Amino acid sequence: MGEKTCKALKLNKQRCTRPALKDSEYCWQHILSRLDDARWYNSAKIQAYIGLIGLVLAVVFFTYNFAFGPTKSNQKKILQKLADIDKKFTETIPPVLTKEDAERPLSVEGKKLLVEYEKWKLIADQANVKAQLSLDAQLSHADALFRLADYKSAETAYRTILVGHPDNTNAMNGLGLVLHQMAKCKEAEELFREVLSKDEASFGPDHPDVAIRLNNLASLLQDTNRLAEAEPLYRRALSIKKESLGTNHPGYATSLNDLANLLKDTNRLSEAEPLYHRVLQIYETSFGPNHPWVATALNNLAGLLLATNRFSEAEPLYQRALKIGEDSFGPDHPKVAIRLNNLAELLRETGRFDEAEPMYRRALKIDEKSFGPDHPKQKP
């Protein structure tokens, strides 16, 4: 009887492996009919096991055929879904052109879109369907990863774009920003200088896009302690934005903030303070009191107050910046680590060591998770 069963399975092997529900049902029923006179099959327990196996096979074959089967209808469905996602990427995710852009949290819709894209990309790969996002959607995808502080994935995404589009300045700029964030400053500087040169050649020296590139390069020079080189770039960017955007625009405020940071770093505190106050005013007017950029302005102003020993003025600003950061990005974002570290520094300066220590430890844990244990301490 055992030999007879094996032959039945062998005879129907080809039919059983066809990825369609009706074929798997036919196959299983045919095998059962061949086994009807087998004595061992008359056991109720064996019948139950075989019935369960048949059901599982039917479900597996059906799922494979529906999701991954190489039918034209499934291919069309996959391609259409990816085309819809492509369009949503460019509509949903704003571009990242500056480090401030990267500080804007990714929307709930943007996060859902990322998950949906990964799901359908996997389905396309398993079904051998060749599909690729448009260039704009690829940039939006990389920008979304950057906003999530997934720097390694963002770096890979920007580099992938540049393989097919080696002269795309937005991908070069995005990669430069990510590398700067990851303290890979040498390569980031090369990219920033190349992007600046290309945009000056394309748009002229006074175009708003050129101001953005100047700011990015100047920020890197400042972070690598080349302050004398950074200052004229900041001032040139500020002048371009003043002419093109006016003095009440958030873009103007961003350049004003960067210049104020440099003035503070060169101990020109009396020059920096009114600029910080002006930046905070513009951001609050433009975005409301709880925007991440407002938190950046609060943090920077609080840093100056701390440097001038005005602890009671600085503390509520640090606390407010921390709350905005946690509400905007979640408790484990690198920006939150910066706020924690700064508030802890104030607590240490005022002798509240027991309050400061857990904040330092939490900030360190966030940074090690985000950047690895060997990354330099992040600047605010």
Residues 152 and 375: their CA atoms lie apart, in Å, by 13
In a domain, 362, yes or no: yes
Are residues 109 and 195 part of one domain? yes
Are residues 185 and 305 part of one domain? yes
Say if residues 322 and 339 touch (Cβ distance below 8 Å): yes
Tokens of 190: 């090369």
In a domain, 221, yes or no: no
Half-sphere exposure of 361 (CA within 13 A, CB side): 6
Are residues 93 and 55 part of one domain? no
Residues 67 and 21: their CA atoms lie apart, in Å, by 13
pLDDT of residue 73: 72
Tell me the pLDDT of the chain averaged across its residues. 84
Diameter over CA atoms, the chain: 99
In a domain, 247, yes or no: no
Say if residues 349 and 334 touch (Cβ distance below 8 Å): no
Q: How many domains does the chain have?
A: 2
Residues 318 and 28: their CA atoms lie apart, in Å, by 69
Are residues 79 and 24 part of one domain? no
In a domain, 287, yes or no: yes
pLDDT of residue 56: 63
Are residues 192 and 297 part of one domain? yes
Express as a percent the part of the chain with pLDDT over 70.
79
Are residues 289 and 174 part of one domain? yes
The CATH number linked to 348 is 1.25.40
In a domain, 241, yes or no: no
* pTM of the model as a whole: 0.72
Domain, as residue range, for 283: 73-204+270-371
Are residues 168 and 134 part of one domain? yes
Are residues 196 and 106 part of one domain? yes
Are residues 314 and 361 part of one domain? yes
From first to last of the 380 residues of the chain, give the pLDDT tens digit: 443 334 433 444 444 443 443 444 444 455 445 444 444 444 555 555 555 666 666 555 555 555 555 566 788 888 999 999 999 999 999 999 998 888 888 889 999 999 999 999 988 888 888 888 999 999 999 999 999 989 999 999 999 999 999 999 999 999 999 999 999 999 999 999 999 999 999 999 999 999 999 999 999 999 999 999 999 999 999 999 999 999 999 999 999 999 999 999 999 999 999 999 999 999 999 999 999 999 999 999 999 999 999 999 999 999 999 999 999 888 988 889 999 999 999 999 999 999 999 999 999 998 888 777 766 544 44
Say if residues 161 and 139 touch (Cβ distance below 8 Å): yes
Residues 43 and 138: their CA atoms lie apart, in Å, by 59
Are residues 142 and 57 part of one domain? no
In a domain, 233, yes or no: no
In a domain, 367, yes or no: yes
Are residues 154 and 106 part of one domain? yes
In a domain, 324, yes or no: yes
Are residues 57 and 108 part of one domain? no
